[in-house]
Structure 1
Amino acid sequence: MEADRAAGMATTRGGAGGDELVLPMNAYGYTVPERDELGRARQVLTDTCMRRLGYDTDPAAETVRFDQSAAIDLADHGVYGNKRRYVLTDPAVAARYGYHLVSTATQVASGPRDPRRASAPTMPEREALSGVDADGRPVTHNNNGQPIPAGGCVGAADHTLTGTGRAGEADPVSKLDADSYQHSLRDPRVLAAFDAWSHCMTGRGYHLPGPLHASDAFGLDTHTVTPAEIATAQADVACKRQTRLTDIWFESEVAYQKTQIRQHANQFHQAKLDHDSVMATVARILANHH
């Protein structure tokens, strides 16, 4: 059953030129919008706890911040977080942004500033948030004598969301994410496609050792996308298409992930149950918040 679910998730939306890659592991983990909703619910719970302890919060500002963040995350990483997994695959993105993330190129990465966050939290606020003092010792009460939950307001929020105090990707999913990618970099078929890509790029006047280094010459932490970067990015994507590199790389990961999911079916089944439980809690919290 788990292998069937994984098989159904393995697609390249829009073909090899598209950038919305859906891997088998994505059937069990959080989408980018779900992670944003999880963060939003976490903030709602944290703010509620902080207000209960007598500290000021600004829910309206938080809503604006999360709305901006959600739009940025989706533009940069796609629905499943795989948009830049193979560096760059979409010719439209290459033509407009080169190798830059959309948020960096459009200068919106920081989002709107919340005046409350202009300065660092006070020590009492930090203690209330984390449940520990500057030396890492547990703090049980604030200056007003009110009890601080174990792990602080952030820890209490995570416990409400997950029941474990850990909000985020399940271990088998995050492990498969990393292992699958590293395994693909050792796959002879992928390495051969890398060589074919380099040969294709050489034919276009670019001498690069492999696709992972295609953007090394460009300052991706600045807002400027140069004509040289766009030209290189367009050649990169064209050579990926010509050599079928994206397809081969994707197929390598799909095969590896299906095998791992089949071999550890119980773990992935539990990861899916945990995911669904967390998202049901998130939906309930956000519904009550509006």
Structure 2
Amino acid sequence: MKRLVTTAMVIGVLAIAGCSGGGSASPAATRNPGGVPTSPVSPPAVTASPTVSSLNNASLPLDRYTTTADEYAELNYASKLMTAECMKRFGITYNPGKRLKLLDYRDRTNDLGLIDEAHAARFGYHMDPARYSKHDTNSNPGLTTAQSYILFGERLGKSDREGVPEDGCMGEGYRKVGWSTEDDVWLQELGNDAKSRAFADKRAVALMADWSTCMRKSGYRYDNVDDVNNDQRWWKDEDAPAGRAEKNTALADVRCKKKLNYLGTMTSILVAYQQQIVEANLERLESVRAATQQALKNAAAVLGGR
């Protein structure tokens, strides 16, 4: 079984791994040196800490620019259909597979730490196996090395083959739809940056201290929510289901968070940092949004109701 997302979030890899191939950079995809997003450093003001039942129901500033799971699946599938058309020009049958089944993609329920009490009681800090995202990664297991070169456009020790598009047929497929997966990764970088800053904020640090005190009163000694999520006792065998000790700890964790309005406070801090980052990157974000909206129209035309 897999573990829940921790607060030390990493960049999602769907765009570059699970979906087989990357897209072209958008015209506005100019980054700062080293690829680091433009991010202010001064702590933003937080005026309220509302009660939030689920982060999925909260409106975050970066949501305006981020594709939904369904939109992502449509863009990916249309791009793969265009890839198949390109491969056909080279006499190669390429199976685009089916639409991705992104059951957990964009699900933010436990994105700021375990929140769901029912989940804690059943799975502890492990993911519900029924919610794993399904990736169509084996639809073309028989491609030869030469065919893979045409698909991806590069192979160690081989010069460009005449007629193969830049980045191969996969690159052509993404370009025809007009979808830049690099933009999607950049948006994830911005979201991760906001999240990291939110947890480093002094208001979050104070909240974490209160949570740690609550946990101690329940008999558990942890300094922060990452420590409890990543307790090595739960992960000696990552494929094993959660045991009673893990579930009891998870329940105490969730109940302490509810007592402290942890999710409401952390959401308000996160919103403030996301808004600050949006304002610092507004021009490129609006350019990315416009490009994505056009790509969705292109994808709809490619799919033609399929």
Secondary structure at the residue paired with 1:133?
Answer: coil
Aligned to 2:148: 126
**Alpha-carbon spacing, 1:87–1:38, altered in 2? closer, same or farther (3 Å):** farther
Deviation at 1:172, TM superposition (A): 6.2
Shift of 1:58: 3.5
What is the SS of the residue equivalent to 1:30? coil
- 1:182 correspondence with 2:196: yes
Q: Kindly tell me: are residues 131 and 41 of structure 1, through their superposed partners in 2, closer, same or farther at Cα, counting changes over 3 Å?
A: same
Preserved CA contact (<8 Å) 2:95 2:139 = no
What is aligned with 2:76?
39
Q: By how many angstroms is 1:112 displaced?
A: 7.5
Give CA deviations for 1:121-154 in whole Å, capped at 9, x if unaligned: 31111111111222363222xxxxxx32221011
Given the superposition, is the C-alpha separation of residues 113 and 178 from structure 1 closer, same or farther in structure 2, using an over 3 Å criterion?
A: closer
User: Which residue, 79, 88, 110 being the options, matches 1:84?
Assistant: 110
What is the 5 A alignment of 1:197-276? Answer: 197-217=211-231, 218-219=234-235, 221-276=238-293
TM superposition score normalised by structure 1: 0.76
Structure in which a larger fraction of residues adopt helix: 1
Report whether the alignment pairs 1:16 with 2:52. Answer: yes
Q: Does 1:58 align with 2:95?
A: yes
Shift of 1:170: 4.9
In structure 2, how many angstroms separate the alpha carbons of the residues matched to 1:169 and 1:93?
Answer: 33
> In the comparison of the two structures, how many residue pairs are matched?
254
Distance of 2:59 and 2:176 partners within structure 1: 30
Deviates more, 1:93-102 or 1:26-35: 93-102
Letter of the 2:113 partner, please give it.
Answer: V
- How large is the RMSD of aligned CA atoms in angstroms? 2.8
Distance 1:205 1:272 in 2: 48
Q: Contact 2:83–2:169 at 8 Å: present in 1 too? A: yes
Structure 2 unaligned regions, length at least 5: 1-48
| C-alpha contact (below 8 Å) 2:83/2:170 kept by paired residues | yes
The answer on whether the counterparts of 1:19 and 1:89 sit within 8 Å (CA) in structure 2 is no
In structure 1, stretches of 5+ residues that fail to align are: 1-11, 141-146
- Specify the code of the residue in structure 2 equivalent to 1:133: R
Contact 1:132–1:152, Cα closer than 8 Å, also in 2: yes
Give the Å deviation of 1:110. Answer: 5.8
Partner of 1:214, secondary structure, is helix
Output the CA distance in 2 between the equivalents of 1:108 and 1:275: 26
Partner AA of 1:85 in structure 2? D
Q: Is the 8 A contact 1:129 1:153 kept in 2?
A: yes
Which residue identity does 2:226 align to in structure 1?
Answer: L
Amino acid at match of 2:291: D
Deviation at 1:26, TM superposition (A): 0.9
Rounded to whole Å, the distance in 1 between the matches of 2:301 and 2:121 is 42
Partners of 1:125 and 1:285 lie apart in 2 by: 24
TM-score, length-scaled by structure 2: 0.73
After TM superposition, give the deviation of residue 222 of structure 1 in Å: 1.1
- In the TM superposition, what whole-angstrom CA distance separates every residue of 1:12-59 from its partner, at most 9, and x where no partner exists? 99x534241441101111122222222222221212222332222335
Q: CA deviation at 1:89?
A: 1.6
1:52 and 1:231 map into 2 onto residues whose CA distance is 59
Contact 2:55 2:267 in 1 (8 A): no
Supply the AA of the counterpart residue of 2:89.
Answer: R
